[in-house]
Structure 1
Amino acid sequence: MSGAPQATVVARDLRKHFAAPDGSHLDALAGISLSVRAGQLTALVGPDGAGKTTFLRMVAGLLPADGGSLQVLGLDVAAQPQQVQDRIGYMPQRFGLYEDLSVQENLDLYADLHGVAPARRQQRFERLLRMTDLGAFKQRPAGKLSGGMKQKLGLACTLVRSPDLLLLDEPSVGVDPLSRRELWKIIPQLVQEEQLSVLVSTAYMDEAEHCEQIFVLHQGQLLAEGDPAGLAAKAQGLTWSVRPSDDLQPRDLQASLIDDGKHVLDAVPRAGGVRFILQPSANIAQLSAQLQGLQPSQRPAELEDAFMMLLRAREQASAAVVSPAPQPASAGKEGPVIVVRDLVRRFGDFTAVASTSFQVERGEIFGLLGPNGAGKTTTFRMLCGLLPASSGHLEVAGLNLRTARAQARGRIGYVSQKFALYGNLTVRENLEFFGGAYGLAGATLRQRVADALQRFALQGAARSAELPAGYKQRLAMAVGLLHAPEILFLDEPTSGIDPLARRAFWRTITGLAQQGVTIIITTHFMEEAEYCDRIAIQDAGQLLALGTPDQVRAQAGGDGIDMNAAFIAIVEQGRAQRAAGHDKAVA
């Protein structure tokens, strides 16, 4: 790549708008000017609707500009889109693998599509398979790979022709921490070994910290740019941490702090304590009531602190804190609301869940965690009554799912990972339809719909398919809560949404738990495990850990480590033990 330009992407007053349902124009990019340096790893960060994907699609020559100029690799994208596409690799959020084809056949197909010469393929394939650790799976169908392996195969297919610029649109959405760590070993390696320029959009601030250059976008505008240390310095002197007493849940202390918009800009549970950011105009002494006598300590500012400061300054009311749903009538009952004993699920000769046992108390937030392919989704679907168990006892809301599955479903709410509502209906029409399916009618249904629209800050006339990801998630939550269920099942509900939306979501969940609703949640954001009363970690169908976040951290071997590190340690310990047991059995 000798002679590469000093700037690989140059945008000047770049504009893009889309027609809104009411006939108005939505500014996806409102005059962006930026320059992406060549041979570096550069991040685009920002909340839902910031314009990140639009910008990447324009750089890839897939969307024309409505104003301004855009040069990529020294080429005018408007005049030479094909020449640009011949020199870049672009991996969108939903990369198109052919699931019936093997890993090797997918690589062959993309090499054919990109015109890679046969003489160059073998060496390139060997390098990509080695880099992604997929060499042992060349003959496995893509559809039978885990989520993390699919992402790595998608990246390998994008790189079959050795591009000058690689565009990655949130490459780690929906993958577990181990797969995310592996992916982020590969990306900097590509920059270093191939002198590749990489432009990546991400919702993870720890991923953006790997980058040399970061652009913060918001509603189509550029809020800030710089390196991680320079951006983090914007929050220096305002960042604190506090550890609650044994009788106070970190999430309850966090809720108390985050509800104080006057003095606290942001708060989040982390490593058994609560990290928070003061408003620039506030001082720590003004928080004595919220801290309840606890002694906070200052901590170094991080990139996420600066990110939250920038967003809060621009978006004071957008991350609406949703008031709790009506308390279910049965919330006063004693005893566990979910009982699982020796639960097993087999698919032919494959055991997806192996003899799992646990119970969940009423009003508890219970996290079900595990790598892609660990069996947690299978467990989750059995708990919801969507999949029968092969054996074992499963009781939900006091009902045996073997004999009363339909009755149990009427007492639970469910929010799936993928948007599962009707995109061609409006927000109000979806609420009315699903409210009717739950048995609501007449004045009761109208009142519940009106309450949901207000509580979740939704516009009833908006078409559901056109909502940003964060608002789709709000609508799915509103639908799941319409009938005031005793138990709410949330399957990776925050996948792909930004930290600002995640804060608002979890403030809502905390309120629901305080009202007596039992929450069962799966997530790949390990920071979200800090909100849970207890968590279970599964891998290969087996239960590896069960307990409070502090107990799980202790099992991982470290007090005060964050949940991401604890999760990785426990899964790796479990895999090492299984490997040792397998070797012993073979011997």
Structure 2
Amino acid sequence: MTDMGTQPTVVSDGLRKDFPAPGGGTLHAVDDISLTVHAGQLTALVGPDGAGKTTLLRMAAGLLKPDAGRLSVLGIDVARDPQAVQDRISYMPQRFGLYEDLSVQENLDLYADLHGVPHEVRRDRFKRMLDMTDLTRFTDRPAGKLSGGMKQKLGLACTLVRSPDLLLLDEPSVGVDPLSRRDLWQIVQQLVDEDDLSVIVSTAYMDEAERCAQVFVMHHGRVLAEGAPDVLRQQARGLTFTAEPPPGMAARDLQARLIDREALVIDAVPKGGAVRFIRQRQADEGALQDLLQGTEPQARPEELEDAFMMLLRQHHQNDERDDQAAALPPSEAAPDKIKVQPKAMQDGGVPQGDQPVIVVRDLVRKFGDFTAVASTSFEVRRGEIFGLLGPNGAGKTTTFRMLCGLLPASGGHLEVAGVNLRHARAQARARIGYVAQKFSLYGNLTVRENLEFFGGAYGLRGRALRERVDAALAQFALEPQAKSGQLPGGYKQRLAMAAGLLHQPDILFLDEPTSGIDPLARRAFWRTITGLAQGGVTIIVTTHFMEEAEYCDRIAIQDAGRVLALGTPQQVREQAGGDHASDMNSAFIAIVEQARQAGKEAP
């Protein structure tokens, strides 16, 4: 590795990159950015969807040419000599190109060939990468048969088959579980510590940005703030509090009350059975006390995410929107106004009161000799938010698909909306809405065309279809003529939810609904979910954001097809015990690792 000394790794001055906007005009993806990234440390790019993080990384990698300004990487002018930069860096995009039919070892060999890695250094390099990623046991396994977390680790290993001077990572932990995310960051930190490697990472996780020496907060192609995490945190000093919900109120309902009052509260999230919030600096004390219904808030230490949310809220109304975003309403415009009356409340079609709307007993699903789901049992009540959590490959998606009637069970009893799925899957599907992990609508159609298509697929016709589509456009604040494939991630998820709710289902299934979207979009998304649950819709959700488990009434943690924990978030944290009882992320990791260790020790 080249000794960079004290020379900056990346320097930009007045950098700009433009693209044609979908509705005409120009989109300033990177807009007059000047920054300096120091060598030998971790640097984070954070910001909401459309902030310009990926565009900036692609320019640094020599894959996009700036339209204006200067960009120097490792002392090289990228616009003049992109190949010289690419010869010295490694870049891992969001969708890294693994060859799924090739084995782990064959993928490593292929990328070593592509990068011209000499054969005499490959053995030691491969061994180190396989040891660091814990993939040594799986060298013969096809990449397509790896879990999501293992694929990400293999992608990182392929990226690092040569020893670079700079590593660029574009949201490397999107879609992976907390254990895999921890492992990825241990690998990156080891490379920084042992090899003095310079790393620039874009991330939607503020706890990941907290690990970095330098953080750049981006929004609409500009840098809003930069500095070390402890410096940025100071912007929220004296404004961060925790409040317990009043008796009989769920933490998510108090969070919804707080987040709706922008004049008093900047941000609020449920955590540990309470609500963490940021008050406005000039908030009226009496009005805030009325909002909290007499609960006395307790001051708490500020975090990087607090400062991040403050910056986004402050600039959300004041920033000049680019042409693409101007065609879309603000992200907070309407999700809290969602009014959905499920069919169960209209015609009495599903069990009412305390009777469960989903009953799972001894559910089994096998694929040949492999058992993906083993004797799983739980129940879900009407209007409940139920979280199904687990590591990649735990059997969550298989369970989800059986619950939705998309996959038959191999054994056990499965009842959804009062219908036995072993005998009447089509009947149950009419009362179910489904939002897939990956955007599954038609990207070449407009928002309205997608809604009309899926409304027709759900049996809506004529006036009823027009009314439901118009209501969905208004409720989810969607621009009807926008091309669906060109929407930012948060709006794609909103469109997917609108499509899933067109037929007013009793039960809504959400498979990793917030994967890859930023904290601002996640807040708006969960405000919508809370409103749906308050309206009587039953929500079943999988997520890898453990803080989102706090929105759930109950959660189940699954691994290797078995349920390891089942109960309220508080009960699950208590099951983890010890130092893990206050933090859902730590509790999740502890429960899964304890179960895996017990499995190893079993005779």
TM-score (norm 1): 0.98
Contact 2:405 2:429 in 1 (8 A): yes
Confirm whether residue 571 of structure 1 aligns to residue 584 of structure 2: no
Cα distance in structure 2, aligned partners of 1:260 and 1:22: 33
CA contact (8 A) 1:238 1:279 kept: yes
* 2:331–2:524 Cα contact (<8 Å) kept: no
Deviation at 1:504, TM superposition (A): 0.3
User: Deviation of residue 535 (structure 1)?
Assistant: 0.3
The one-letter code of the counterpart of 2:536 is G
CA distance in 2: counterparts of 1:472 and 1:273, whole angstroms = 30
Counterpart residue number, 1:21: 22
Deviations 1:448-500 (A, max 9, x none): 11111111111111101111111100100100011110000000000000000
Amino acid paired to 1:319:
E
Residue 220 of structure 2 aligns with an amino acid whose one-letter code is Q
> Counterpart of 1:34?
35
Which deviations, in whole Å up to 9, do the C-alpha atoms of 1:491-524 show, x marking residues without a partner? 0000000000000000000000000000000000
Do residues 399 (structure 1) and 429 (structure 2) align?
A: no
User: Counterpart amino acid of 1:567?
Assistant: F
Question: Mind listing any 5+ residue stretches in structure 2 that lack a counterpart?
Answer: 318-329
Question: Quick one: which amino acid aligns to residue 296 of structure 2?
Answer: Q
> What pairs with 1:333-412 in structure 2 (closer than 5 Å)?
333-334=352-353, 335-412=355-432
* Distance (Å, rounded) in 2 between the aligned partners of 1:81 and 1:233: 38
Shift of 1:576: 1.3
Stretch of structure 1 that moved more, 139-148 or 350-359:
139-148
* Counterpart Cα distance in 1 of 2:97 and 2:513: 23
Distance 1:207 1:101 in 2: 31
Q: CA deviation at 1:401?
A: 0.6
Q: Which residue of 2 aligns with 1:202?
A: 203
Between the two proteins, the alignment pairs up a number of residues equal to 582
Distance 2:410 2:285 in 1: 56
Q: How far has the Cα of 1:5 moved from its partner?
A: 5.2
1:251-296 per-position Cα deviation (integer Å, ceiling 9, x unaligned)? 0111111111111000000112110001121255431111111111
2:342 partner amino acid: P
- What is the CA deviation profile of residues 517-570 of structure 1, one whole-angstrom value per residue up to 9, with x for unaligned ones? 000000000000000000000000111011001111111114851111111111
SS of 2:343 mapped into structure 1: coil
Cα distance in 2 between the residues matched to 1:248 and 1:59: 49
Equivalent residue number for residue 338 of structure 2: 324
What's 1:520 paired with? 540
Between the aligned partners of 1:243 and 1:580, the Cα distance in structure 2 is 41
Q: CA offsets, 1:3-41, max 9 Å, x none?
A: 445211111110011101232101101111101101110
Give the corresponding residue for 2:514. 494
User: How far apart, CA to CA, are the structure 2 residues paired with 1:122 and 1:419?
Assistant: 40
- In the alignment, which residue of structure 2 is the partner of 1:188? 189
Once the two structures are overlaid, the 10-residue window that deviates more, 126-135 or 151-160, is 126-135
The CA deviation string for residues 359-407 of structure 1, in whole angstroms up to 9 with x for no partner, is 1000000000000000111001000001000001100000011111111
CA contact (8 A) 1:5 1:73 kept: no
For 2:9, what is the secondary structure of its paired residue?
strand
Deviations 1:220-259 (A, max 9, x none): 0110000000000110000000122452210011111111
Q: Is 1:130 aligned with 2:131?
A: yes
Q: Deviations over 1:55-78 (max 9, x none)?
A: 000100111111111110000111
Q: Which moved more, 1:413-422 or 1:129-138?
A: 129-138
- Say if 2:555 and 2:568, in contact at 8 Å, map to a contact too: yes
Asked if the contact 2:259–2:265 (Cα under 8 Å) also holds between the matched residues in 1, the reply is yes
Contact 2:366–2:372, Cα closer than 8 Å, also in 1: yes
TM-score normalised by structure 2 residue count: 0.95
Aligned to 1:315, the other structure's residue is in SS state: helix
Q: What amino acid is aligned across from residue 59 of structure 1 in structure 2?
A: A
Pairs within 5 Å for 1:121-520 = 121-282=122-283, 284-316=285-317, 317-322=330-335, 323-331=337-345, 333-334=352-353, 335-520=355-540
- Alignment RMSD: 1.1
Of residues 255-264 and 511-520 in structure 1, the stretch that sits farther from structure 2 once superposed is 255-264
Q: Which amino acid aligns with 1:384?
A: C
Q: Which amino acid aligns with 1:329?
A: K
- Specify whether residues 570 and 246 from structure 1 end up closer, same or farther in structure 2 by C-alpha distance, changes over 3 A only: farther
Residue in structure 2 matched with residue 47 of structure 1 by the alignment: 48
Q: Shift in Å at residue 131 of structure 1?
A: 1.1
* Structure 1 contact 321–507 (Cα < 8 Å) conserved: no
**Which residue type is aligned with residue 578 of structure 1?**
G
| CA distance 1:201–1:456, shift in 2 (3 Å) | same
Tell me how far apart the structure 1 counterparts of residues 5 and 124 of structure 2 sit (CA, whole Å): 24
CA 1:22 to 1:3, structure 2 compared with 1: closer, same or farther past 3 Å? closer
Distance across 2 between alignment mates of 1:246 and 1:111 = 61
Residue identity matched to 1:97: L
Shift of 1:329: 3.3
Task: Classify the secondary structure of the residue corresponding to 1:363.
Answer: coil
Residue 158 of structure 1: CA displacement? 0.4
SS in 2 for 1:330: helix
Q: Give 3-state SS (helix, strand or coil) of 1:366's partner.
A: strand
Q: Do the aligned partners of 1:10 and 1:70 also contact (CA within 8 Å) in 2?
A: yes
Partner residue in 2 for 1:545: 565
Contact kept, 8 Å, 2:4 with 2:39, in 1: the verdict is: no
Give secondary structure in 2 for the equivalent of 1:462. Answer: coil
Report the Cα distance in structure 1 between the residues aligned to 2:181 and 2:285, rounded to whole angstroms.
36
Note the C-alpha offset of 1:311: 0.2
- Structure 1 residue 344 displacement after superposition: 0.2
CA drift at 1:324: 2.2
Q: Which amino acid aligns with 2:223?
A: L
Q: Structure 1 pair 348/47, CA: closer, same or farther in 2 (3 Å)?
A: same
Alignment of 1:64-83 (within 5 A): 64-83=65-84
Is the Cα–Cα contact under 8 Å of residues 17 and 29 in structure 2 kept in the other structure? yes
**What percent identity do the matched residue pairs reach?**
72
Q: For residue 290 of structure 2, what is the amino acid of its counterpart?
A: A
Distance in 1 (CA, whole Å) between partners of 2:23 and 2:304 is 38
Q: CA deviation at 1:100?
A: 1.2
Say whether the 8 Å CA contact 2:338–2:476 is kept in structure 1.
no
In structure 2, C-alpha distance between the alignment counterparts of 1:111 and 1:214, rounded to whole Å: 32
2-structure distance, mates of 1:238, 1:288: 15
CA distance in 1, matches of 2:158, 2:431: 45
User: Which amino acid in the other structure matches residue 546 of structure 1?
Assistant: L
Following the alignment from structure 1 to structure 2, what is the Cα–Cα distance between the partners of residues 372 and 22? Answer: 38
1:420-453 deviation digits (Å, cap 9, x = unpaired): 0001100000001101111111111111111111
Contact 2:129 2:157 in 1 (8 A): yes
Given that 1:264 and 1:276 are in contact with CA atoms closer than 8 Å, whether structure 2 keeps it comes out as: yes
2:541 aligned with 1:531, yes or no? no
Residues 336 and 361 in structure 1, CA contact (< 8 A), matched pair in contact too: yes
Give the whole-Å Cα distance in 2 for the aligned partners of 1:460 and 1:143: 37
The code of the aligned residue for 1:209 comes to E
Deviation for aligned residue 1:320: 3.1
The letter for the 2-side match of 1:115 is: G
Alignment-mate amino acid for residue 253 of structure 2? D
Q: Distance in 2 between matches of 1:329 and 1:351?
A: 35
